[in-house]
Amino acid sequence: MLTTQILYGLTACVLVALGLRGALLHASLLQRIVAINVMGAGVFLLLIAVAYRGPGLAPDPVPHALVLTGIVVAVSATALALALARRLHAERDDD
């Protein structure tokens, strides 16, 4: 058990909680999307902290590959969410 892993892992937990709170409490759709991205960053930080093995040691490449995939999926989900939010605003303005 490494101090570095614990420090980064605990920060990851804080990010997940902050993001969830923002996603639940914000009124603006855009800021909810930002909050969900913060939550995702927390999950990524957790995975990379778990992969860390200490200075000078090769980290576990599997979580790294998972996070890379996750970053790309997160950006495409964000883009789709933004397009949906834009359409929603357009429909609301028509009313």
Partner 1 sequence: MNPVSLLVFDGLLLVSIAGLAWASLATTDARRSVILFMAFGLVLAVAWGRLLAPDVALAEAAIGAGLSGALLLAAAHRQPRPLPPASTNAPRNHGAAGVGVVLRWAVTLLCAALAGILAWALLHAFDSAPHDMLPQAISANLATSGVSNPVTAVLLNFRAYDTLLELAVLLTAVLGILALGPATPGYQPAGPVFDGLIRWLVPVLILTAGYLLWVGAHAPGGAFQAGAMLAAAGVVLRLAGRSRIGLPDGIVLRIVMAAGMGVFLLVGLSLLLLGRPFLGYPPDWAGSLILLIETAAMLSIAATLLLAFLGGRPESTGDKAAAKRQREAIS
Please, which of residues 69-88 interact with partner 1 by CB under 8 A? 69, 71-80, 82-87
Considering the rule CB under 8 A, would residue 59 count as an interface residue with partner 1?
yes
Report the C-alpha gap between 5 and 57 in whole angstroms: 14
Q: List the x/- string, 25-44, binding to partner 1 by CB under 8 A.
A: xxxx-xx-xxx-xx--x--x
User: Residue 33 Cβ, how far from partner 1 at the closest point, in Å?
Assistant: 7
CA torsion sign for 91, 86, 67, 42 is negative
- Taking phi over 0 as left and psi of -120 to 50 as alpha, with beta for the rest, 17 belongs to alpha
User: Residue 53 Cβ, how far from partner 1 at the closest point, in Å?
Assistant: 8
